[in-house]
């Protein structure tokens, strides 16, 4: 039976590096933000490459959800699905995946906003949806027999191997040392937006070193970080610690 992993992450996290990590396993298939096209089509958000993404992807919410619950690509024993809570603006939500192993990847809002702003002119609360990520976490926490795994990216980068071993144990899959490294470049499993968003990951062959001090934000960016932080802080209390 396939172990389906739904990793719920905000943007400008280490979500693509984490997808690379799981994709390095010989037993694992990966899916890159499968609801992105549906989100762009329904929301009308003017994001980079929006028209190309919509044209390239299945944009029907129910069809995508059905595919994510269906057979894994190449009958892989493990299926890692990279999801973004802010994409879920249609009629599908986390409750539509009762048989998935849900995990949550979080990052300090100051780091997210500083990184995101480098790629776009502006960033708003709806682009990040820390509130929906917390909502999804609580839904799983209240319905499952154990607290779902939470990975804080800054803590993670101080000890990737320790965190990955613990994460694999919580998900119920064996640890594989191959998860610590990958080949450089764009992967066939990447979304077509990879050429715009994945430059740093494409140049990497493993997880980055632990980041330095949090960036200092000002004005609207600082206000946005303050708005997001209570949701982040509440989830951070549950972050895995090797």
Is 55 part of any domain? yes
User: Which pTM was predicted?
Assistant: 0.95
Residue numbers of the domain that contains 81: 3-236
Is 51 part of any domain? yes
CATH number of the structural domain spanning residue 31? 3.40.50
Is 241 part of any domain? no
Is 100 part of any domain? yes
pLDDT (tens digit per residue) in 28-62: 999 999 999 999 999 999 888 999 999 999 999 99
Cα separation, 112 vs 89, whole angstroms: 21
Model confidence band, residue 121 (pLDDT cutoffs 50, 70, 90): low
Q: Which two tokens stand for residue 44?
A: 């009308």
Element (H, E) at 225: helix 219-236
Is 43 part of any domain? yes
Going by C-alpha positions, the residue among 164, 168, 194 that lies closest to residue 181 is 164
Is 242 part of any domain? no
Cα separation, 35 vs 223, whole angstroms: 29
Is 27 part of any domain? yes
Is 106 part of any domain? yes
Evaluated on CA atoms 227, 46, 104, 163, the torsion sign reads negative
Lowest-pLDDT range of 3-7, 121-125, 130-134? 121-125
Cα separation, 240 vs 104, whole angstroms: 10
Tally of domains in the chain: 1
Going by the DSSP 8-state scheme, the letter that residue 202 receives in this structure is: H
């Amino acid at each position: 039976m396939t172990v389906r992993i739904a990793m719920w992450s905000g943007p400008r996290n280490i979500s693509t590096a984490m997808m690379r990590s799981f994709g390095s396993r010989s037993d694992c298939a990966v899916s890159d933000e499968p609801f992105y096209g549906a989100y762009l089509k329904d929301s009308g958000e003017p994001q980079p490459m929006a028209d190309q993404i919509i044209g390239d992807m299945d944009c029907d919410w129910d069809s995508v959800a059905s595919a994510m619950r269906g057979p894994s690509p190449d009958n892989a024993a493990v299926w890692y699905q990279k999801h973004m809570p802010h994409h879920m603006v249609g009629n599908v939500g986390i409750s539509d995946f009762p048989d998935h192993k849900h995990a949550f990847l979080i990052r300090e809002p100051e780091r997210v906003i500083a990184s995101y702003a480098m790629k776009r002119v502006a960033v708003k609360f709806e682009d990040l949806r820390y509130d929906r990520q917390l909502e999804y976490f609580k839904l799983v926490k209240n319905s499952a027999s154990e607290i779902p795994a939470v990975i804080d990216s800054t803590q993670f980068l101080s000890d990737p191997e320790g965190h990955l071993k613990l994460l694999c144990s919580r998900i119920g899959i064996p640890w594989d040392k191959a998860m610590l490294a990958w080949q450089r470049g764009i992967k066939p499993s990447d979304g077509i937006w990879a050429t715009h968003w994945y430059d740093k990951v494409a140049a990497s062959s493993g997880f980055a070193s632990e980041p330095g001090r949090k960036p200092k934000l000002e004005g609207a960016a600082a206000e946005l970080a303050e708005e997001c932080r209570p949701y982040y802080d509440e989830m951070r209390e549950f972050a895995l610690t090797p």
